Each structure stands twice: as structure tokens, then as C-alpha cells.
């Protein structure tokens, strides 16, 4: 079975909407993370930071459109959706919908009612997706070690995002419940995925950007944990510095990533970099360190350049009909 994630496999020719990939929601994750990075930057920059509101509306509109397109696919081509659900890689991207809702709940945190509903729906779906995907891993026979890749973090580790808004809304125990799931199974999956990367064949080219997902769990973990405990303790430092080390490891291989052509999976670069940027901005706030403030500025500039490239390349690919095609 092929590991490509850009469009479902299907023999007969169907309208392009039938091949609309669930992985498009990873674009919303990236846009949300970008928005949150600029929102967090308001704490260290003195002017020009209200631009995050523009990004927030743009991200919300993008979420609505992607959701509508995928809802049309569900309504008219349920068999194509089932093919994605039964695919050993694409199944991991269904929780990107619930994660997008959770991230938007953080984006709109100042709008309490909107944020609360987004968080409640997102949390319920995230837990449901986690249970379903983990059950699939346990009971289905079509998984092999070659299917293991960083996208496996998405269904389980997405739970780490829950406390960012949940702790602010007062759902402390539920926040700790989800955080515990995410952190523990991050370590379990990290072992499996690193074993696969060390001792088996390299990831296919279109899956290479997913290596950046390694950054997301410790980065988001730092943000969530400090949101719940309200201080910088030893555990917070450990998970932040793990994220920082992984960023250096990925930076060492930057030319490998530059050589990879653009795919929809290229959006996997965006959210992890955004998460590290937000985590570093928060680290700068908690330590009042000029060093972390400087890194924050550098990361924010890099993230902005990355998003400009991704959006430009995505628009170009849409007009060139590079997406939503059978393979």
C-alpha cells in the first residue's frame, strides 16, 4: 500500500472534490500556529502586533472553507472518506480537524463564549479520535513498521493542546487528563518512530517534511504545562530544551528539506515551527532573558517567511490543479 497522503487511491475517475485530502486541515493548524505566534509576540513587541487579528480572521475563514469542502466530500463520496480512514497514514490526519478547533479556541480566547464552544467540541472530538486511532493500531493487521512516521504523533499528542484553553476555562482535571495522555504516549511513539528512522529505510520524499512534527510535542507540551502550573520549573525546562535540541537537529539537515519538492505535506513544517516560536516567546517572558527574546524574534521572522512561501506555493498549486487528483 502506498504511503502518499496527497489524495486517496481510487481507480475510477471522480470529481476532484472526491480526492480532497483530510490532510488539508494541517494547513489550518499551521495558520493557527502562525496567528498564535504573532499574538504571543504582543508580549515582547511594543507596536504592530495587532496584525494577529487579521491573521485570526483569515485562519477562521480558511477553516470554514476547508470544512465545507470536506463535508461535501463526506456527503457525496463517503467511500473516499472510508479509504482515508483505512489508510495507515491518512487516518492520522483526521484529528487535525479537532486540533484545528482547539487551536482556534486559543486564538479566540478573549471571546469567551466562542472559545469555550470551540474548545468543548475540539476536546470531545480529540479524545474520540485518539481512542479510535489507537484501537485501529492495536487491532488492525495492515500496519507494519514502515508505516510508522511522525504523523503518528497527531492523534495522541494532540491531547497536549487541550490544557492551553482548558486551564483558563477552569477545567483543570480534564486538562491534566489530556496532558497526561499526550505526554506519556509521546514518549511511547517517539521510541517507535526513532527506531523506524534509525534502522529502516528513509521516509519517502513527500513524507520528509513530517520530520518537523517531532518539534511539536515538546513545544506544545511546554506551553500547556506552564499554562497549568504558572511557573518555570525543572520539567518545563526539560521539555523546552528537548524541543530546542530537536530544532537544532532539524536545522543541521536543512539542505535535505530544501531539496524536497512542494507537497500538501509541506505544511507539516508550519505548525511545529510556530509551536516552538510560541514556546520560546513564553520562555522569554518567564525568564526575562534577552537571549530568548532574540531567539523569539529570529524564529518569528523565519516562521513568517515560511508561511509566505507555503501560502504562495499552495495558491499556485491550487490554480495548477496539483491537488485533489487520483494517483
Q: 76: which 3 cell numbers?
A: 457525496
Q: How far apart are the C-alpha atoms of 161 and 103, rounded to whole Å?
A: 7
Instruction: Give the pLDDT band (50/70/90) at residue 142.
Output: confident
* Domains parsed from the chain with CATH numbers: 16-319 (1.50.10.150)
Burial class (CB in 10 A: 0-12, 13-18, 19+), 290: exposed
List Cα–Cα distances, 211 to 124, 152, 193, 205, in angstroms: 27, 11, 10, 11
DSSP character string of 125-172:
HHHHHHHHHHHHHHH-S---GGG--GGGHHHHHGGGGHHHHHHHHT-H
Q: In this structure, are residues 296 and 244 in contact, taking their beta carbons and an 8 Å threshold? A: no
Average pLDDT over residues 137-159: 88
Q: Indicate if the pLDDT at residue 43 is higher than 80.
A: no
- The pLDDT-based confidence of 13 (bands split at 50, 70, 90) is low
Q: Is the pLDDT of residue 249 over 90?
A: yes
Q: Give me the percent of the chain exceeding a pLDDT of 70.
A: 94
Distance of alpha carbon 32 from alpha carbon 105, whole angstroms: 10
Whether the per-residue pLDDT at 194 is higher than 70: the answer is: yes
pLDDT band at residue 325, thresholds of 50, 70 and 90? confident
DSSP H or E run through 232: none
Whole-number Cα distances in Å, 163 to 174, 213, 229, 241 = 8, 19, 11, 20
Looking at residue 320, the DSSP 8-state letter turns out to be T
Closest CA to 159 of 185, 192, 195: 185
Query: Over the stretch 206-237, which tens digit does the pLDDT of each residue have?
Result: 999 999 999 999 999 999 999 999 999 999 99
Among 189, 31, 148, 24, residue whose Cα is nearest residue 96: 24
Count the residues in the chain: 327
pLDDT of residue 10: 44
Nearest-angstrom CA–CA distance, 312 and 259: 18
Q: Tell me, what's the pLDDT at 188?
A: 95
Which tens digits make up the pLDDT trace of 86-130? Answer: 999 999 999 999 999 999 999 999 999 999 999 999 999 999 999
In the prediction, which pLDDT does 140 show? 77
pLDDT for the residue numbered 157: 84
| Residue % of the chain over a pLDDT of 90 | 84
Average confidence (pLDDT) over 271-282: 98
Q: What is the pLDDT of residue 57?
A: 97
Position 317 pLDDT exceeds 50: yes
**Please, are residues 268 and 210 in contact by the beta-carbon 8 Å criterion?**
yes
Q: What is the mean pLDDT of the chain?
A: 92
CA distance linking residue 259 with residue 325, whole number of Å:
23
Q: What is the mean pLDDT of residues 70-74?
A: 96
Amino acid at each position: 500500500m502506498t504511503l502518499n497522503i496527497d489524495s486517496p487511491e481510487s481507480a475510477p475517475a471522480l470529481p476532484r472534490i472526491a480526492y480532497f485530502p483530510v490532510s488539508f486541515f494541517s494547513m489550518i493548524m499551521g495558520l493557527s500556529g502562525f496567528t498564535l505566534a504573532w499574538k504571543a509576540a504582543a508580549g515582547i513587541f511594543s507596536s504592530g502586533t495587532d496584525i494577529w487579528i487579521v491573521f485570526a480572521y483569515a485562519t477562521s475563514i480558511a477553516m470554514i472553507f476547508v470544512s465545507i469542502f470536506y463535508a461535501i466530500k463526506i456527503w457525496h463520496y463517503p467511500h473516499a472518506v472510508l479509504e482515508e480512514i483505512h489508510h495507515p497514514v491518512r487516518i492520522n490526519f483526521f484529528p487535525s480537524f479537532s486540533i484545528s478547533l482547539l487551536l482556534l479556541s486559543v486564538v479566540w480566547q478573549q471571546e469567551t463564549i466562542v472559545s469555550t464552544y470551540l474548545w468543548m467540541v475540539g476536546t470531545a472530538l480529540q479524545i474520540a479520535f485518539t481512542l479510535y486511532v489507537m484501537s485501529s493500531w492495536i487491532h488492525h493487521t495492515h500496519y507494519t513498521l514502515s508505516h510508522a512516521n511522525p504523523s503518528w504523533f497527531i492523534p495522541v499528542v494532540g491531547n497536549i493542546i487541550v490544557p492551553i484553553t482548558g486551564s483558563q476555562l477552569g477545567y483543570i482535571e480534564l486538562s491534566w487528563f489530556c496532558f497526561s495522555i499526550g505526554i506519556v504516549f509521546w514518549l511511547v511513539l517517539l521510541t517507535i518512530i526513532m527506531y523506524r528512522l534509525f534502522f529502516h529505510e528513509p521516509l519517502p520524499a513527500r513524507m520528509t517534511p513530517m520530520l518537523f512534527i517531532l518539534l511539536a510535542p515538546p513545544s506544545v507540551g511546554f506551553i500547556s504545562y506552564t499554562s497549568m502550573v504558572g511557573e518555570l520549573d525543572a520539567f518545563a525546562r526539560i521539555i523546552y530544551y528537548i524541543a530546542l535540541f530537536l530544532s537544532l537537529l532539524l536545522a543541521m539537515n536543512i539542505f535535505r528539506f530544501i531539496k524536497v519538492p512542494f507537497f500538501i505535506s509541506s505544511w507539516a513544517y508550519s505548525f511545529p515551527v510556530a509551536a516552538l516560536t510560541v514556546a520560546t516567546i513564553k520562555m522569554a517572558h518567564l525568564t526575562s532573558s534577552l537571549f530568548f527574546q532574540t531567539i523569539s524574534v529570529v524564529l518569528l521572522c523565519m516562521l513568517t517567511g515560511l508561511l509566505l512561501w507555503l501560502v504562495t506555493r499552495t495558491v499556485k498549486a491550487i490554480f495548477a490543479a496539483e491537488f485533489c487528483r487520483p494517483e
